[in-house]
Amino acid sequence: MSSKLIFKKRDPIESTVPKNFWKIMITDDSADVHEATVFALKGETVLGRSLEFIHTYSADECLEALKEHNDTAVLLLDAVMETRDAGLKAVKSIREDLGMRDVRIILRTGQPGDAPEVDSIHLYDINDYKTKSELTRNRLLTSIITAVRSYSQLKYIEAGSRTLKQIIESTKSLSPGQSLDELAVEIMERISSLFHFQGEMTFCRALIEGGEAEIIAWKKGGDSGPADDRHSYTIGEEIQKALDSRCSSYFKRSVCIYFDDSKEYSYTVGIVPEYLNEEEIPLMEVYASNLSLTMQNYRLFHRMARLAYEDPGLKIPNLSALIKKIESLDSPFQSNLFLLDINQFGSLNDMLGHDYGDQVLAAMVRRLKTALPPGAFIARVSGDVFAVISGDLTNQELLEIFSRPVDLDEGKQKLSVSIGSVSLESEYISGSDCLKNAHIALKRSKSEGMGSSVRYNPEIGLETRERIRLLHELRNAFQSEKLFLMYQPQVDIKSGKPIGFEALLRWKSSDGAFIPPSTFIPLAEQGGLIVPMGRWIMKSAMHALKELQHSTAGSLRMAINVSAIQLSSYDFLEHLKRTLKETRVPPELVDLEITESAAILGAEKVLALFHEIKALGLSISIDDFGTGYSSLSSIDSWPADRLKIDRSFVKDLGVEGQGGRIVDLVIPLGQKLGMQVLAEGIETEEQAGILLDLGCPEGQGYLYGKPMTLKEARKWLKERS
């Protein structure tokens, strides 16, 4: 919007002939009078305008011609033409029939005796009465000047009352909601039509406290538009002066109308007038003060709009502004919406303080602003999530922007960001839908690990929506107690004697299908449902253990699966203690199955937790051993009691291949670490035999029993005692 004022040497305005003129009608039956009058007045200007003559030769012709030239300023009318009173009759018709009250009339006659009655002069508003002999060149000119002045004043008063009303209407209807250049053009249009300025106009502003004028918009003849470099501006100096002195100036060659918003900006409309009617200056002043009110409203309006659409901390567009922006994109368009999430911003904030966090966010914005292609739109969507709209930018390019660390007050910080993006080419999708899709892509990207990026496509959308639907259904199922536990026996392989059960969660969805825990447990983990669900599982499994205990003489243990997210919940231990107390189950009969994924909690936390669990008297099994990603070195230090060999290794036992070799390694490893070993998924006697030979004493699998209801489990126990 800002382009520099170009100071252009201007042509002296005196040399340009004003287009406006006063119409003077001469009505006389003598051609000589016409000639003499024109000769006397030729080349004269009155109030800056030249004179144009209209010739008529009778009263009737005069009336006819006036109908056409109703802007005639002065009528030089012969009193005696067809009849002695033809002139006076014509005056009566002009005033009464034609209703022309403003045209000034100078009645001329050859004889003083032809003079009309004084009453008529007043009645018909005759300006002047002269004998033709009196109308020497000088006298005639003086009469014309007086008449034109009087005409112009009458017009001015008429225009003035109209203009004042228009001024009030005009400023009232200016909308402060439009953009500044739109408003500027509108203001210039109105000034032009109110004060009849046809020449070049320039709308400028500067800071009230002083500064260089910045052009906002221009107008030239019928054309107007926001500032651009194609236009040069004639009266730059005067505009700057008006802005600096904070007042309007009115010269023949330049008019500068000054107004301001009383706080931030001064404005000036610079005009190169074709003709300046000095009598209108007071009206222009009134207009200027009304424009100041308009600009105050404009400032307030846009400040409010800013507050509604700006992030107060970072001073960049906020979520509402983003949605508005997406929806305002003209279709068809091709652009992309990117969402960027700073990885581990939360822990950065927690560890180094909010001040540091704020610095990181500001540095993020700085980096985006400097590195993105021009025209890119940046917004803050929430805490550490930013949005970028840009046509030519890829996920990869955006990731690379953060390959270098960002600068903070205190040194540098490497930022890892995850990106989700979506193409904004569809015309049918709303701003918030686009944003939803970008969020889906971002979430997927985050689940793929730090520093990844994902572009949204309909499949991802479908999967995510299906997951959300399923999570919703799972939550309902849990709340309406439709989840239940099954129990799978664990045995001493050698004797086949039951040593315990593993509690396994089951969900039969509303359409009657069993959804496998491998699907719904991760869902519950992502949806935050696993913690309340885990508590319920713990309690139910312990109650079940007490029931099962009645069905057998020996002591049984209950293995309960605990997810890493459950473990990390702040009151896990608290709750565990309470449940043990409530159910009065001896802690040593409870075995918590924890997978290697617990390593994500960090070695310190895992160790502390394991020690506390052990201190309560419970035992711990490392579930699915060998399938996870933790290093052996960390497991080495975990005070666990048992390794559970994953069934994927057991499956291949007896068949030539990897499975056998790993079991071969794991069993001695467990023994070395001082842990017991239990093999999962034993389906055949052969597998059981090999495991026993390799030194694995405990097992679980379909060979001994599938997961069963509590009732079935009691029956199963009875059959074996």
Pairing of strands 49-56, 104-109: unpaired
Q: Of 393, 264, 293, 289, whose CA–CA distance to 337 is shortest? A: 393
Residue 488 binding partner per list ligand C2E, Mg ion, none, with a CB distance cut-off of 5 to 8 Å that depends on partner kind: ligand C2E
Task: Strands of 352-508 (E only): list them.
Answer: 377-382, 385-390, 406-408, 411-413, 417-423, 453-455, 483-492, 498-508
CB of 363 to ligand C2E, least distance (A): 40
Structure tokens at 220: 């030239």
HSE at residue 64, side-chain half, CA atoms within 13 A, is: 7
**Binding at 702: pick from ligand C2E, Mg ion, none (beta carbon under 5-8 Å per type):** ligand C2E
- Which is nearer to ligand C2E, 510 or 518 (by Cβ)? 518
- The piece of 325-333, 577-585, 604-612, 621-629 that touches Mg ion (CB under 5 A) is 621-629
Based on CB atoms, which residue is closest to Mg ion, 339 or 592?
Answer: 592
Q: Which partner, Mg ion, ligand C2E, none, binds residue 516 by CB below 5 to 8 Å per kind?
A: ligand C2E
Work out whether 698 is an interface residue with Mg ion (CB under 5 A).
no
Residues 342 and 359: their CA atoms lie apart, in Å, by 13
128 binds Mg ion (CB under 5 A): no
> Would you count residue 591 as binding Mg ion (CB under 5 A)?
no
Which stretches of the chain bind ligand C2E, using CB under 6 A?
A: 488, 503-505, 516-518, 521, 537, 561-563, 593, 623-624, 647, 680-683, 700-702, 707
Residue 523, token pair as written in the block:
């869902």
624, 670, 678, 707: which one binds Mg ion (CB under 5 A): 624
215: β partners = 204
Closer by beta carbon to ligand C2E, 126 or else 544: 544
With CB under 5 to 8 Å by kind, the binding choice for 707 among ligand C2E, Mg ion, none is: ligand C2E
The entry of Mg ion, ligand C2E, none near residue 563 (CB within 5 to 8 angstroms by kind) is ligand C2E
Q: Name the binder of 701 from ligand C2E, Mg ion, none, CB < 5-8 A by kind.
A: ligand C2E
In the list Mg ion, ligand C2E, none, the entry touching 518 (Cβ below 5 to 8 angstroms by class) is ligand C2E
Q: Looking at the DSSP assignment, which residues form a beta bridge with residue 389?
A: 337, 377
Least distance (Å) between residue 621 CB and ligand C2E: 9
Q: Is 623 in the site for Mg ion (CB under 5 A)?
A: yes
Contacts of residue 41, defined as CB under 8 A and 6 or more positions apart, other chains included, come to: 24, 51, 53, 137, 140, 141, 144
Which partner in Mg ion, ligand C2E, none is near 670 (CB below 5 to 8 A by kind)?
A: none
CA dihedral 209, 214, 217, 219 (to 10 degrees): 100
- Region for residue 89 given its phi and psi (left: phi exceeds 0; alpha: psi -120 to 50; beta: otherwise): alpha
Compute the least distance from the CB of residue 540 to ligand C2E, in Å: 9
Q: Which of residues 509-568 bind Mg ion (CB under 5 A)?
A: 561
Residue 710 binds which entry of ligand C2E, Mg ion, none, CB below 5-8 Å type-dependent: none
User: Which helix (H) or strand (E) segment is 684 a member of?
Assistant: none
Q: Does 181 bind Mg ion (CB under 5 A)?
A: no
Q: How far is CA 14 from CA 148, 273, 477, 548, in A?
A: 21, 12, 91, 114
The entry of Mg ion, ligand C2E, none near residue 114 (CB within 5 to 8 angstroms by kind) is none
Assigned token pair, 676:
């017991």
User: Three-state secondary structure along 561-597?
Assistant: EECHHHHHCCCHHHHHHHHHHHHCCCHHHEEEEEEHH
Residue 365 or 620 having the CB closest to Mg ion? 620
Q: How far is CA 679 from CA 275, 561, 652, 682, in A?
A: 103, 16, 13, 7
Q: By CB under 5 A, what part of segment 674-693 binds Mg ion?
A: 680
Structural contact between residues 645 and 626, judged by C-beta atoms closer than 8 angstroms: yes
Using the rule CB under 5 A, which residue among 593, 594, 669, 670 binds Mg ion? Answer: 593
**Whether 363 contacts 412, CB under 8 Å:** no
CB closer to ligand C2E, 457 vs 519: 519
251 versus 702: smaller Cβ distance to ligand C2E? 702
Distance, CA of 271 to chain centre: 37
CB of 383 to ligand C2E, least distance (A): 30
Binders of Mg ion among residues 647 to 666 (CB under 5 A) are none
Q: Token digits for 587?
A: 């802690």
CB of 597 to Mg ion, least distance (A): 12
When CB distances are held under 5 to 8 angstroms depending on the partner's kind, the choice from Mg ion, ligand C2E, none that residue 504 binds is ligand C2E
Element spanning 64, H or E? helix 59-68
Rounded to an integer, what distance in angstroms lies between the CA atom of residue 285 and that of residue 290?
Answer: 9
Nearer to Mg ion, 398 or 521 (CB): 521
For ligand C2E, the closer CB: 16 or 518:
518
Residues making contact with Mg ion (CB under 5 A) = 561, 593, 623-624, 680
